[in-house]
Amino acid sequence: MLPLPTLPAIGLSTLSLAVGAAGAFLGYLVNLPLYMLTGPAMLISILSLFGMRFAIAPGLRNIAFLFIGISIGSGVNPEAATLMLRWPIAFVALAIMLVLAMILCRTLLVSGFGFGQQSAVLASAPGHLNFVIALGETYGVNLTKVTVVQSVRVLLLTLTVPALAALMGLDLAEGIIPDGDTLAVGYIAVLVALSLIAGWVLERLQVPAPLLIGAMLVSAIGHLSDLSPGILEPKVTMLCLVIMGTLIGTRFGGTTPAMLLRYAGSGVAVTVLTTVLTVGFSVPVAIYLNMPLPHVLVAFAPGGLETMIVMGAVLGANPGFVAACHVGRLLILSILIPFFTARAQDKPVLGWPKK
């Protein structure tokens, strides 16, 4: 779960983090919303397009997810559990939204951008990129266009969600760093050990982002029971956000400016259409659950699971609700993506033409 990196991987990760930190500093200078995440994502993405190679070693990535999970879990309050009985309606709405998103985005990519049927299905999937790539290799589709569309979606949502939240007047300065005394080293060691165990169990159960979610659960239980009072050192949380922002930017590794220009339009179009659907479904759910609209939006937004969970914490949303929605989204997509891809192989879906 925390593999030991090789020396070349350590060197490349160090370089990537140095550039990511520079991006965070530039983001701070220009007052970029959630600069420690969006700054590295932007700078690394731009430099990757021009041939620079960046990467974060898997072990370092997992450590960042673990500490971010602990930080988010420490912000859980006793009132959060009272909403759990009302969540099922949100999952029903989410499932309907995902079906519509895949149908409409596929139609848009086929008729508006000349995509083949199967590549359109895979490019229109609102998430689950690793699963999408694996299926694409099985079916032999053009993975370049699929990956570019998916990467554009994740980057756009990473940059626009905090910007929209700031425009709504929400304070992004705290969020991910709850109030409280700093946890002692002994408490942190116990949380890390228990989080690793929880992550290992969740990984065996094939739960997405097992370390992040396992650490959230352990930290939330410890916080609610007062067994682990306090929060992580804010500098640790900030560093982990820089690592995550850098990781987001590395999605454009191997993508050239020409490739981006060729497929970016379809990526933007899919993102806009999916965002419109997200807003349309989030409004009634927010009213029914009596939640602030931005909290439901970030729970339904088709961005990266880890990134959106962090965004939810920054916005002060219920961490359990946001995490449950995004895990549910990936589980639903695990059924929808193979279904639509297989049907696109040999016959039309809902009356669309064959490939």
Residue-wise pLDDT for 233-289, tens only, equals 888 888 988 998 898 888 888 788 888 888 889 999 999 999 899 999 999 999 988
Taking residues 52-59, report their average pLDDT: 90
CB 271 within 8 A of CB 153: yes
The more confidently predicted of residues 235 and 201 is: 201
Question: Which pLDDT value is given to residue 349?
Answer: 41
pLDDT for the residue numbered 176 = 55
Is the pLDDT at 57 greater than 80, yes or no? yes
Per-residue pLDDT at 314 exceeds 80: no
Q: pLDDT (tens digit, 9 = 90+) per residue, 128-163?
A: 777 787 777 777 777 788 888 888 888 888 887 777
| Cα–Cα distance, 100 to 98 (Å, whole number) | 5
Q: Which tens digit of pLDDT belongs to each residue from 167-189?
A: 766 666 555 555 667 888 888 89
Do 20 and 40 meet the contact criterion of CB atoms below 8 Å apart?
Answer: yes
User: In whole angstroms, how far apart are CA 327 and each of 10, 143, 304?
Assistant: 30, 24, 11
Mean pLDDT of the chain: 83
In angstroms, rounded to a whole number, what is the distance separating the alpha carbons of residues 222 and 187?
10
Mean pLDDT of 218-229: 79
- Render pLDDT for 15-34 as a digit per residue (tens, 0 to 9): 999 999 999 999 989 888 77
Q: Which residues contact 335 (CB under 8 A, 6 or more apart)?
A: none
Query: What pLDDT score does 258 carry?
Result: 84
Burial 140-157 (b: 16+ CB within 10 A, else e): ebebbbbbbbbbbbbbbb
**pLDDT for 86-123, tens place per residue?**
678 889 999 999 999 999 999 999 999 988 888 999 99
pLDDT for the residue 54: 92
Place of tokens 């914490």: 313
Q: Which residue has the tokens 């709405």?
A: 93
Q: pLDDT at position 22, please?
A: 96
CA distances from 229 to 179, 221, 222, 321 (A): 11, 11, 7, 22
pLDDT digits (tens, 9 = 90+) for 78-88: 655 555 566 78
Other Cβ atoms within 10 Å of 258 Cβ, number: 9
What is the mean predicted confidence (pLDDT) over 199-204? 91
Query: Is residue 320 very low, low, confident or very high in pLDDT (cuts 50, 70, 90)?
Result: confident
Return the beta strands (E) in the chain as ranges.
none
CATH number of the structural domain 7-346? 1.20.1530
* Nearest residue to 272 via CA among 110, 146, 124, 145: 124
Q: What is the pTM of this model?
A: 0.77
Domain segments of the chain: what residues?
A: 7-346
| pLDDT band of 352, cuts 50, 70, 90 | very low
- Give the Cα separation of 8 and 233 in Å (integer): 29
pLDDT at res. 350: 43
Q: What is the pLDDT of residue 157?
A: 83
